[in-house]
Chain A
Amino acid sequence: MTSYNIAIMVRNEYGVLNRVTSMFRRRQFNITSLTVSETETEQLSRITVQYEGEERSKRQLVAQLAKLPDVISWKEFDPEDSISCELLLIKMANNEATRSQVLDAAEAFRAKIVDYTRDSIVFRIAGGSRRIDNFIDLMRDFEILEVCRTGVVSLERGPSVMRNVASV
């Protein structure tokens, strides 16, 4: 099993996310992360997909994506040549007994406190998925109230851009 990172430019049309995810569901592709966002032009949206599987099934996924008329271009990112990150918000219980340990851990990860009450603390952290996994794992020693993460967004390093790229 390998993890693949694929960026997809789609027409910014009503229901386009449904078309892409419906295809993933129907063909039983196991998506580990999916983000959708607006782009530099209002005609296009950008979808970033993390996929875990065999090379062969990844090829099938890309070939099926390419058949959707709303898909304008796509690109598989090499981790070496791209920057990926995601954002985490995590709400911890603010217990006197563990407070200092929680704050120490957060500082070590350079997580930012964005909300603080008598009973709770919300941290924000951005970075690679591994780093975020590690931070959540560390927090499991304490009382996690809620977790929300965005999924991966990626850009290629250097001046090349996705628009008009039709690879594979």
Chain B
Amino acid sequence: MSKSLSLLSKRAGKINPQSVEDYVSMGGFSALKKALTMEKMEIINEMLDANLLGRGGAAYPAGKKWKQLYNIEGEPKYIVCNADEGEPGTFKDKLLLKDDPMSIIEGMIIAGYVFNSQDGYIYIRGEYRIIQEKFKESLEACEKAGYLGDNICNSGYSFRIHVVSGAGAYVCGENSGLLNSIESKTGRPRVKPPHLAEVGLFSKPTLVNNVESFADVPLIVEMGGKAFAELGSEGDGGSKLVSICGNSVNRKVVEVGLGHVTLRDLIYDEEFGGGIADGKELKFYHLGGQSGPIGFPEQLDTPYTAKALKKEGLSVGSGALVVLDEDMCIIDYLLKVCEFFIHESCGKCTPCREGNRHVHNILTKFAKGTATEEDFERLERLSATMALASSCGLGQAACTALDSCLKHRRAEFEAHMRGECPVCFPKDKEGK
């Protein structure tokens, strides 16, 4: 029996993404019509029942976020969709943006209706240039068909969505950096408090959700929060898009019920990753992008859901699953992760600006075989300081992968200190 689901991805590839007719023919906008007849608090209660953990990576309960914003006074309120899908190895939002954009639009309109917003913004990463244009076409089509713009479905409610392009900065995926970028300010995260729900876009109360979270909204309204929650598992409702890539046989986006598959399923099952390419062995896998934790073969039987993963020090994060085979040296890999964060740090707070390069320096020592025992203490202290004291999620999460490796593969670091690594220092046939 197939372990994959087809809810979020049911229309992908089957419809013309810019056709309202096609979208409606496959159930589109029925949730919107239903929502427009519902009390606002009813919709929020469905969101709460759904146990939807935010799909951007931080896994903040979406229903809770909605309820908080609902209780905040102030007008106007803005709806912002974070489509700055920047976590390396993550391309699940791309599937929705490209193949089913109207599900995102529908989710945003429902959110707009709940908060009585007039304007929504979708911030699409700069690299998705063609998608941005197509998305605008979809918006126009929706407006023409009366699902967007003035007097939506004759309900008297009006809402517009504006497309804003990112320009390549990973840190603009951080919600407050993203809002600054929309406001034409430098894309650096803001100091919090104040929280975005209170002082968000243009200093007004703002809801920021991920693409997939918004696409989940019509599903929740349609099937009810409880039914949605049951697709997943305890405290982590719904289905989830997972982008699998790296050294796996298949590189693609799959949809699974949270908690109904294990990591082993995701990597080895024919309909998912399909195993390791070229007959190699699995060495490790990186979950949730560069800011996520690294898992190892002995953790493969962990169910793919928040609670079970957390017990193993893992997480869903952005929904990325990057598979690495035996030819990858952990130290080399961590150096690349670190280079990424050095490149993407906004630079304003000390732990992130300065910390990443010291981590890189020390990892380089390990790579060259010149590290000492004290370097472990340094790495641990840097990682702890960055996680505890950085200003935003970027710095706080920059050492997550390093932490996983230090915890589970310390021996590999130690071997490097001795100049032993099957990848970096291969022995010849005589074992020299």
Co-assembled chains A and B:
no
